[in-house]
Structure 1
Amino acid sequence: MMTDLRQSLELLTREAHAKGYSEEKSTSIQLRIFREFVERERERLHYEHRAGASGHHVVQQWTAAVDAVVIEAYRAVMLNGEGTPGECAVIALGGYGRGALNICSDVDLLFLFADEVPDHSPIVHGVLHLLWDVGFDLGHSARSLQSTLDFASRDDIAQTAVVDARFLAGLEPLFGRFVNNFRARFMADGGWEFSEKIVRQLHTRREAHGSYAQVLEPDVKESTGGLRDVHALQWIASARHGTASLEALVEHHLISKRDFRLLEQSIDLLWKVRNELHFVHKRKHDRLDFSAQPRVAAAFGYRDDAAALGVEHFMRDYYLAAREIVRISDAVCHQALRRPRGIQTVTDIVRRRVLPDGAVYVRGKILLPRRRKDFFTTNPRRLLSLFANMQRFGAMMSETASWAIYDELALVDEDFRTDPGNAAVFLSILSEPAHLGAVLRRMHWTGLLGAFVPEFGRLTCQVQHDYYHAYTADEHSIVVIDRLSELASTGQDSRVATVYRSLPRKHLLHLAALLHDVGKSGGHGHAERGAEMSITITRRLGLEKADQDLVAFLVAHHLRLSHLSQRRDIDDLAMVRAEAERFSDTDTLDMLYVLTWADMNATQARPLSRWKCQLLDTLYQRLREVVETRGLGPEFAALRTLESPQKFRNLLSERIGEEAAERHLSGMPRRYSLMHSLDEAATHALRADSLKNEPVLVDVTPAGNHARVIVYTRDRRYLLSDICGVLAVNNLNILYADAYTRTDGIIVDVFGVEVVGESDIRDEVFVNTLRETFRTVWTGQTAVAELIARHRRRWARIKPKAGVAPSHVVIDNTVSETNTVIDVFAIDRIGLLYDISRAISENGLDISMARIGTDGDRVADAFYVVTSSGKKLVDAAESEKVRESILRVIGNERT
């Protein structure tokens, strides 16, 4: 490669001399040759990358190409008489120094001088300008040997960059002196202090980027499990063993040959992904954006199948690679901090506690005994009992013990899984909420959880490609356990916490929580499939038949209460009674309620909204009343149903007067008293009563991480679509909605909204603009359709959410006795709800109620509708017409 470039340049030089070219023309031709070489190499590597070349091949070849350009640029400058031989050394730093340069990465150079750097160095100036003209992104400095060492002592980033230093051209003995002086100054203790600094930097970076490798949009370089973790390994190897080669980690027994192969494969995938991002963006771009993930997956040949989307297969492989990098880097960093053992302190000896299984507890850690040979082979149950110890003491599992467990996973065979004693240890861990999530997470990290419950192991790094699921399936399941354990705290006084603490058999709930998504390894229909798989697992654990059935029931129905509370009319007593028939007793309902709450709270990093919690609580209360009063007669159930609203009515009467309370609550559904506080109800009542001389009133109140818009008006056709249209043209995206109609015809509509763009909904000017838009529409000065038409061009500039799930519409006449229910599933965008509700109204249907649900990038909306004659929509042709109309506006005409 360098030979080709040099031959071209030498040919040019001879030709220039022979033809008497001017210096300017010679330089121009010289620059053209450099550029053509770089472009040819970039195109060649792009072609090889597309053809399936390894990431290692591409970065190695590109580094060699850049080496050729830098070295020949230096040579050309010297031949042109612009520099003094032996003046300086040209040194590659950072990723370029490591020989791992991605296509658009910065080219970092150090011009190292023995003594003072001249004010104007022709060689520095000449080389840099040539490289800039070629098109490289350069990071550069010119320093003396002493100033470089001094700067490295003050700047940790500079220090690690120098560790990667590689000689390119110029005064090589100076480079040798520099390396020796650097090691003498910073690694005189054998690299211990430097290695400890690298480990601290790694932990600080992970805290900034999240300690979890499976983030939604990983940065291939900086995220946990990214290339920076690999760099830390190389820096430690260099500090401790004088070489940045990862093979040194094997030679010095820091990692096994098997882990070295896994590490190489993982690094190669990350290099390949980074190359793809650079090729596509034509610049340095290291974030694997959600929208880019399907394109990268397709470029690498991943395809959809019955089990998962191609992008989900790709991201699983990516996360598995990142996870391996974390696992191996953690182990090496742990070794890097283990200085030679000195004399044990008296405190350690006194506090050292030998446990019944032979393990040792000291200073908050579970350790293996010093004589640990055959520790697990003589008693494999210790693999599990170590975690029981960890839970009992709220301790950490030592890295040495974790690695020993990982190395002995071959002991976990079918005999181990079906052993009653092993099952007893596992179930005893599940029976105790304290530290349960931490114990299971470490058990999973070592591989033991997946080995003991292979069905769970298949969830490792399982991805669902949408904005809604912030975690992979395995981590999500353990986060559900975390949420349950938090409920055990005495500081929790919510209904769900009270119910959880009252449960008598928590180990069954925890087991169901762990297993609730195991069916996802087989694709769609995961709840039913997971229930069948849970029977196999619980039978293997030796549970009684009734307990097997209970766990299977919880797994099969873990989505049910969430679905009903958010997308169905929970005031429909017929629906509630029918649903209550599923539950044989209140314990089963209590468990499903708590599991549902934890599942909903473990899907995204932010807490579940108060609104969704209230909906779930309301449905649970309704169901429990029916289950509790089953067989006691309808009169008893009716009294229970009226008890809470009547109490609410009495309290509201004390606030605003009996007449005003009666006027406001008359005709209100029962859920109103459960969904809103007395303060909110009093405000609603007073505002609704003041509507007499106004066509519409609008209030805006903060509600956690979003805002609530309350609209007071009178019922009319296209009401919902008009409200949604006004919210949309003010760049408000609807997260949820609930509508209430008083007997006097006044509507109180409550919308949860978030702002799309830079506006602040708390700003008085913004709120006044919103109110004015409502006023002009309601007084007929402006048509919503005209506003929407003007704003569509602006919305087109907003980057859409990159969802991949197909949109679809389901029309159902079995849900309600009086209404047809239209379920709409689509990718969210601003103005979507306006389009859907408008399409429904234009088909002559009246919207009785809408249940609006937004989860990340997806909407799942349910519209309760009747025809103009107040009947269900039963005509098949009309139903299909409505369905097609909605599909057109949501952007998917056929499913």
Structure 2
Amino acid sequence: MTTSPAAIALPPLPRLPTVVPRSGVSSDARRALRQLLGDVDRALATAFRDGVDASALAQRRSESVQRIVVHVWTACLGEVNEAALFAVGGFGRGLLFPHSDVDLLALVEHAEPARLRALEQCFATLWDVGLKVGHAVRDPVQCRALAAQDVSVFTSLLDARRLVGDPVLDDRLRAIVDDPALWPPREYLAARLAERNTRHARYNDTAYNLEPNLKDGPGGLRTLDALRWLGRRVAHANHRGNDLSGMVVEGLLDPAEQIMLEQAERTLWRYRFALHLEAGRAEERLLFDYQRALAVRLGFEDEHEKNLGVEQFMQGYYRAASQVERLGVQIAERFVEMLEPPSEPQPVGDDFVRYGTRLAIRDPDLFVRRPAALVELFILRLGEPGIVGFTADTMRRMHQATALLDNALADDPLALAAFLRLLRLGAPAEEALWRMNRHGLLAAILPAFGKVFGRMQYDLFHVYTVDEHTLRVLHNVARFATPAARQDFPIACEIWPTLEKPELLLLAALFHDIAKGRGGDHSVLGEEDARAFCTRLGLPTEDIEQVTWLVRWHLLMSTTAQRQDITDPEVVQRFAETVGDGARLDLLYLLTIADIIGTSPKLWNAWKDRLLADLYTATRYALRSEEDLPSDAPTRVRECRAQALLLLEAEGIAPAACLRVWTDFPESSFLRHRPEQIAWQTSAIVRAQGATPLVEVHPLSVRGTTELFVYVPDRDGLFAAVTAMLDRLHFSVMEARILNSRNGMALDTFLLLESDSQQPASPTHAEELKQRLHRALAQPAHVHQLTKRNVSRHLKHFQMAPRIAFSAAGDRTRLALVCTDRPGLLAAVAQAMAEAGVRVHDARIATFGERAEDFFLVTDRHDAPLRPVLQERLLHALLQRLRPSA
């Protein structure tokens, strides 16, 4: 993919114009310097494209910029005493990427006006020739005072490098940095760790963001810089050529860790150099705007549709950042340990001891001699109170043993037996699995898990890499065991204590996405992996079948609830037949919730909670052998009417009034609505005493949404008018029931969430919807203009051609639409249907990241299925409105 750096010569250092000290820089010389800088940057870009190492090019740019900076300083100030110019930041470390800031510190003993004017001229000239300069002018006293107040100022001085000027000031600056009274090791470490935590919190405390920050995000280049700063200040590992080698000498790193960090750093440098070139500015975020282009620039190619070049490119970043983040956390713990005097060891079993809050191994060769101890150590940590980590030596030996054993750990019977003991602890095992992953042990036991390490999916639905998602699913599963989760997940928390073997659920969570990116159906491939591993664990056949079934069908409950009509007994019956028994249903329900929340926190809402709860309850009913789910329509209608009537009588509404209203209701109202909904609609109609249009809004209905009921004389275009208003008021439609009474009234029900929050509407917003829609429907029918809103920056990068399919559905036509989601999508679809002369009778709306999957039951204006000619007209109208460029 790249050429060896040694095979290509670096661009030469620039030749500068002749300079006369203290003469200033003429306009001609400025133009020459500007041209020279442009030539250097173009040559560096060409060399990068040809495969030269990014770090070598960043060093060459630093050297070139240094020559220009020194040239301008000399032209403006000449050879001066009591003044010097220092490079700080990345420039101080000798690295400048294509659009990096040039950070400078001018240290002066006496800031007389003439010297300050010369410095202003110097910095203005540097800006004029094309350098983005960040500068400060201080005397040594000011410098020391600021460094004492602000750890970031002190840290910047660690990298300070004199470029030109009085050498005496080099000594003055070194005296500030080396002063033991300024930021002693303990204080410096605490300040750096606090800064790290604050910085990481801005990025959701994970390296696995969809648009990660190469520099400041967790596992970014700032983490590596911080390790070097800590090494020099805390451990005095001041090897300026390579501070990591100094940390090896101090025993804070072993050579293998140094190699891993340096390899990760080279990857991050390469990506950062390419990103600056692609963006044309100092961009540090791997935005969707650049990801595909960067993958092409760096030579990544699509392997197949489930392993795109851009996904391989991002996996390279995630793997590098994850290595840096993991080792960064572990090395920081070593610094803490180094500054804490060790306590007396206390024995913990035969093989382990504890030093205060840290566990250690007795025998340095324990992990190699008996690999199962690697797992046992994590089990021990769960049960040993007050433990916060492992000693530095134990962590190092853990990593060395894991590397030495390689894949042999996955086949070690004792290690697998220990892993099974861990899983059988249930919910507490999740924390141990998370920590094992941090130390690289989980991938050693599950090699297939190592393949999805850093594996991203290029869409807006999956916001984490596969490995991070899996760990979050495990965490969500473990939450069901905690009393605090009962308010949010009452059914799940009732199920958890009844599980006889919670380890089966943990295994299913570990394997449900383990085959992502291989090509083919990841559920099928994952089932094979799960079967092989569970067999090696020695699980009974029935347990293996339970785990593999869950892996194979882990998406079944979610897709059934969101894409099918779960009020239809046939849908529930088919789902129940696939599930088979109540124990399997319990496990699938827990896994489904944990999977949805672990995919993206924004995906979970009251609507999906209610959907899954309804499907779970209906399926449990269907699975009871002694009770059949009533599937005949007359029985279901009678039961719904009876329950609704009880609710209405409790409101004080006479049964006769209810029955008069119901004589006009179609049978499908009682088949497709809950008794609570029928009672609410009936009560509204009775109270309206014949007045129309009737618009009722329930801010929080029994379906976990805001429910809208429209009762108005039916007319063509009504669905389009309502959806246009909903779009204008920023509501998302989850489901729509479009029914007609026997006397020509529309009985339309919409289940809604607020578009921004994906939560039910506030009472104020619900009332606004009621009033505005009532006014709109009271007007004569007219074309409702859609609100024009720009497609978000994210969605612009995930455009897809719409896929539209028609199929027979009894006396109606089923329309399936898959396309890119966007603001106002449903309203646009509704207008296309109105223009084509198509009536909507039912709508189910599902959105998965950038992908909308909507299903409609439609007819022509005579309530007949769509003929081919009308299907073609509707297809054309939809494509006109939904094409990606629209």
| TM-score of Structure 1 vs Structure 2, range by shorter chain | 0.7 to 0.9
For 1:707 and 1:167, locate their aligned partners in 2 and report how far apart those are by CA, in whole Å. Answer: 64
- CA deviations on 1:410-464 (whole Å, 9 max, x unpaired) are 4656664345443332222222333232211111222221111112221211111
* Deviation by residue 1:126-181 (Cα, 9 ceiling, x = unmatched): 21121121232222121111111111111122111111111011112211232123
Partner of 2:237: 241
CA distance in 1, matches of 2:311, 2:658: 53
Find the residue that maps to 1:339 and give its secondary structure: helix
How far apart in 1 are the matches of 2:368 and 2:791?
A: 63
DSSP-derived class of the 2:265 partner? helix
Q: 2:526 aligns with which of 521, 525, 530?
A: 530
Partner Cα separation in structure 2 for residue 122 and residue 101 of structure 1: 27
Match of 1:388 in 2: 379
Deviations 1:47-97 (A, max 9, x none): 333333332133212212221111000111145xxxx72140011112221
CA drift at 1:318: 0.6
What's the counterpart of residue 194 of structure 1?
Answer: 188
Q: Which moved more, 1:746-755 or 1:503-512?
A: 746-755
State the partner residue of 2:653: 657
- 1:114 shift after superposition: 2.4
Please give the residue correspondences for 1:98-109 in structure 2 after superposition, counting only pairs within 5 Å.
98-109=93-104
* SS of alignment partner, residue 206 of structure 2: coil
Mapping of 1:181-260 within 5 angstroms?
Answer: 181-186=176-181, 191=185, 193-239=187-233, 240-244=236-240, 245=242, 246-260=244-258
**1:560 corresponds to which letter in structure 2?**
L
Report the Cα offset of residue 319 of structure 1: 0.6
Does the CA contact (< 8 Å) of 1:331 and 1:399 recur in 2? Answer: no
> 1:562 offset after TM fit, Å?
0.7
Q: What SS does the corresponding residue of 2:684 show, helix, strand or coil?
A: helix
Match of 1:404 in 2: 397
Give the TM-score normalised by the residue count of structure 1.
0.86
Q: Is the deviation greater in 503-512 or in 259-268?
A: 259-268
Letter in 2 for 1:237: G
1:334 is matched with which residue?
A: 333
Instruction: Provide the rounded CA distance (Å) in 1 between the counterparts of 2:266 and 2:537.
Output: 40
CA distance in 1, matches of 2:688, 2:681: 11
Structure 2 equivalent of residue 464 of structure 1: 457
Q: Which moved more, 1:265-274 or 1:92-101?
A: 265-274
State the match for 1:821 in structure 2: 814
1:149 to 138, 144, 148: 144
How much does 1:642 deviate?
7.5
Name 1:20's counterpart in structure 2: none
Contact 2:737 2:749 in 1 (8 A): yes
1:598 maps to what in 2?
594
Distance 1:284 1:718 in 2: 51
C-alpha separation in 2, matches of 1:533 and 1:805: 34
- Taking structure 2 as the reference length, what is the TM-score of the superposition? 0.87
Instruction: Kindly report which structure 2 residues correspond to 1:628-667, keeping only aligned pairs within 5 A, or say none.
Output: 628-629=624-625, 646-647=642-643, 649-655=645-651, 657-659=653-655, 663=661, 667=668
**Residue 139 in structure 1 maps to residue 134 in structure 2:** yes
Aligned Cα root-mean-square deviation (Å): 3.7
Deviates more, 1:219-228 or 1:178-187: 178-187
Q: 1:781-823: per-residue Cα shift (whole Å, max 9, x none)? A: 7412xx13xx44xx35754614537445353648x66654333
AA matched with 2:269? W
Q: What are the residue-to-residue correspondences of 1:544-559 with 2, within 5 Å?
A: 544-559=540-555
Separation in structure 2 between the aligned mates of residue 763 and residue 62 of structure 1, nearest angstrom: 60
Which of 450, 469, 485 lines up with 2:443 in the alignment? 450
1:257-276 equivalences under 5 Å are 257-276=255-274
Question: How many angstroms apart in 2 are the aligned matches of 1:671 and 1:773?
Answer: 24
- Identify if the C-alpha distance between structure 1 residues 399 and 304 changes in structure 2 by more than 3 Å, giving closer, same or farther: farther
Contact 1:554 1:592 in 2 (8 A): yes
**SS of residue paired to 2:854:** strand
Deviation of the 1:832 alpha carbon: 1.6
Preserved contact between residue 698 and residue 771 of structure 1 (Cα < 8 Å): no
Q: Judge conservation of contact 2:697–2:770 (CA < 8 Å) in 1.
A: no
The 1-side partners of 2:497 and 2:636 are apart by 24
Please, which of 159, 162, 175 is the counterpart of residue 154 of structure 2? 159
SS of the aligned residue for 2:367 comes to coil
Pairing of 1:689-700 with structure 2 (within 5 A): 689-690=687-688, 692-695=690-693, 697=695, 699=697
2: CA distance between counterparts of 1:773 and 1:281? 46
**What residue in structure 2 maps to residue 129 of structure 1?**
124
Q: Aligned in 2, Cα 1:764/1:589: closer, same or farther, shift over 3 Å? A: closer
Gaps of 5+ in 2: 1-9
Contact 2:795–2:822 under 8 Å retained in 1: yes
> After the TM superposition, which residues 447-526 of structure 1 pair with which residues of structure 2 at under 5 Å, given as runs?
447-491=440-484, 492=486, 494-526=490-522
Question: Is 1:51 paired with 2:45?
Answer: no
Instruction: Describe the SS at the equivalent of 2:338.
Output: coil
Q: 1:62 to 1:644 in 2, by over 3 A?
A: farther
Q: Which moved more, 1:452-461 or 1:737-746?
A: 737-746
C-alpha distance in 2 between matches for 1:611 and 1:160: 50
Q: Whole-Å Cα distance in 2 between the matches of residues 888 and 399 of structure 1?
A: 65
Please name the residue that 2:279 is paired with.
Answer: 281
- Indicate the larger mover: 180-189 or 616-625: 180-189
Moved more, 414-423 or 176-185: 414-423
Matched, 1:74 2:73: yes
Q: Does 246-255 or 450-459 show the bigger shift?
A: 246-255
Label 1:830 to 1:207 Cα distance change in 2 as closer, same or farther (>3 A): closer
CA distance in 2, matches of 1:37, 1:635: 82
**CA deviation after TM superposition for structure 1 residue 569, in Å:** 1.0
Change (3 A) 1:645 1:711: closer
Distance in 2 of aligned mates of 1:261 and 1:419 = 28
- 1:801 is the counterpart of 2:807: no
| Equivalent position amino acid for 2:18 in 1 | L
- Say if 2:846 and 2:853, in contact at 8 Å, map to a contact too: yes
Cα distance in structure 2, aligned partners of 1:480 and 1:195? 33
CA distance in 1, matches of 2:834, 2:815: 12
Change in CA separation of 1:633 and 1:723 when aligned onto 2, cut-off 3 Å:
closer
Paired residue secondary structure (2:179): helix
Range that drifts further, 683-692 or 822-831: 683-692
2:301 maps to what in 1? Answer: 303
- How far residue 487 of structure 1 moved from its aligned partner, in angstroms, is 0.9
State the alpha-carbon separation in 2 of the partners of residues 636 and 824 from structure 1: 30
The answer to which of 633-642 and 473-482 deviates more is: 633-642
For residues 275-297 of structure 1, the C-alpha deviation after alignment (integer angstroms, 9 at most, x for no partner) is 33333333322222233322322
How far apart, in 2, do the equivalents of 1:690 and 1:144 lie?
Answer: 81
Question: How many corresponding residue pairs?
Answer: 855
Query: Which residue pairs with 1:576 in the alignment?
Result: 572
The answer to whether the Cα contact below 8 Å between 1:90 and 1:111 also exists between their aligned partners in 2 is yes
Q: Are positions 1:889 and 2:884 aligned together?
A: no
Moved more, 639-648 or 162-171: 639-648
Q: CA deviation at 1:469?
A: 1.4
Cα distance in 1 between the residues matched to 2:232 and 2:849? 44
Deviations 1:251-285, CA, capped at 9 Å, x for gaps: 33322333323222322222333333333333322
2 CA distance for matches of 1:199 and 1:42?
36
- Separation in 2 of the partners of 1:326 and 1:870? 61
How far 1:537 moved relative to its partner?
A: 1.8
Partner amino acid for 2:260?
L
SS of the residue corresponding to residue 363 of structure 2 reads coil
Which string of whole-angstrom CA distances, capped at 9 and with x for unpartnered residues, describes residues 717-748 of structure 1? 333333222333x2626262333647574434
Which secondary structure does the structure 1 equivalent of 2:417 belong to?
Answer: helix
- Structure 1 residues 755 and 636 mapped into 2: Cα distance closer, same or farther (>3 Å)? closer
Q: In the alignment, which residue of structure 2 is the partner of 1:668?
A: 669
Paired position in structure 2 for 1:312? 311
Asked if the contact 1:696–1:775 (Cα under 8 Å) also holds between the matched residues in 2, the reply is no
Equivalent-residue separation in structure 2 for 1:2 and 1:115 (angstroms): 40
Distance in 2 (alpha carbons) for counterparts of 1:703 and 1:267: 53
| Cα pair distance change 1:286/1:415, threshold 3 Å | closer
Q: Which amino acid aligns with 1:590?
A: D
Identity of aligned residues (%): 25
C-alpha distance in 1 between matches for 2:672 and 2:363:
62
Q: CA 1:188–1:692 in 2, change beyond 3 Å: closer, same or farther?
A: closer
Q: C-alpha separation between the residues in 1 aligned to 2:549 and 2:101?
A: 56
How far apart in 2 are the matches of 1:820 and 1:767? 35
